[in-house]
Homo-oligomer: A and B are copies of this chain.
Amino acid sequence: MKLFGGIEAGGTKFVCMIGTDPEHLSKEERFPTTTPRETIRKVTEFFLPYVKSGELAAAGIASFGPLDLHPDSPTYGYITTTPKEGWSQVNLYGEICRSLNVPVAIDTDVNAAAFGEQYWIPENRSLDPFLYVTVGTGIGVGAIINGSPLHGLLHAEAGHFALPHDWQRDPFPGVCPYHNDCLEGLASGLSMAKRWEQKPEHLPASHPAWDLESDYIALALVNLIYAYSPQRIILGGGVAQHPGLIQDVRCKVRQFMKGYLRSSMLMERIDEYILPPALGNRSGGLGAIAMAANLAA
């Protein structure tokens, strides 16, 4: 029996999974992200029985970043300049390769989530470009283009798009430590918590926060549609799952495009175009399993 390991490496928690596919997981565990040494030790312990039994065929890592993903770089698979204390220049890929001793794939959490939503969901398979956008504590974008995840100079950082900011309507200066009022600075869960002095999940549906939030997300999606011309967008992350938000976003995307792109998908079937993740909040971990299965195939 060949099993695949999935590691979702987040800034606040790690999730480990093992199995053959989303319906057949043998074990799943989450633990807080502490020091690299302790956290990677917990990952190793999780998989150890399956390494010993020879059942683990390959593993995938869906990691927070920034990551070095240049195949020929001496620091391939390192977490590079993260502000997360102790995690800068950590060789996450190398450490996990060494401790598991099976083929390992690594990508950003959002690229892995995009890969997972496409790999496990038959209706998503042939859609290209295919985007995964997460709006949670932060904002990130993963993309599969021409059959492969998007990498390049580094990797996509479309969460930091510069967007129109109407200071009269929204005098909040933004929370991005680099750009202040970029997309993430204005529309992340963190920005909502600071602007309204309440956690987003405590803001009632009638609060004006949600109208502003769906405006920013829709504006961001319009820019992403113009940039990538995606065939489908998966809108994940905790903030985006607020009841009614995705419906408002769809409506506003159409409104903000002003009929510029004459696609029946945008005009008539936008509810098939912008979708919540079919894998719920497990796209990252299940995407990592998909990367492992793909590597072993």
Contacts and interface: CB of A to CB of B under 8 A. Distances in A.
B152 A129 contact: yes
Which of A129, A179, A227, A262: most chain B Cβ within 10 A? A227
Interface in A178-193: 178-179
A145 B230 CA distance: 13
A151 interface: yes
Interface stretch (A22-30, A159-167, A234-242): A159-167
Contact of A153 (B153, B156, B160, B229): B229
Which of A129, A223, A262: most chain B Cβ within 10 A? A223
Interface in A126-159: 128-129, 141, 145-148, 150-159
A178 B229 contact: no
Which of A66, A152, A258, A266: most chain B Cβ within 10 A? A152
Contact of A154 (B147, B159, B263): B263
A261 interface: yes
Interface string A212-226: 000000010011111
Contacts of A225: 153, 157
A31 interface: no
A80 interface: yes
Contact of A261 (B151, B157, B261): B157
Contact of A227 (B161, B164, B219): B161
A99 interface: no
B153 A227 contact: no
Contacts of A196: none
Contacts of A259: 178
Given A145-B145, A179-B260, A227-B228, 20 more contacts: A80-B262, A141-B227, A146-B146, A146-B147, A150-B229, A152-B230, A152-B231, A153-B230, A153-B261, A155-B229, A156-B227, A159-B226, A160-B226, A162-B164, A162-B222, A163-B164, A164-B165, A178-B259, A223-B223, A224-B227
The 5 closest A-B pairs by CB, nearest first: A152-B229, A146-B146, A178-B260, A227-B227, A157-B226
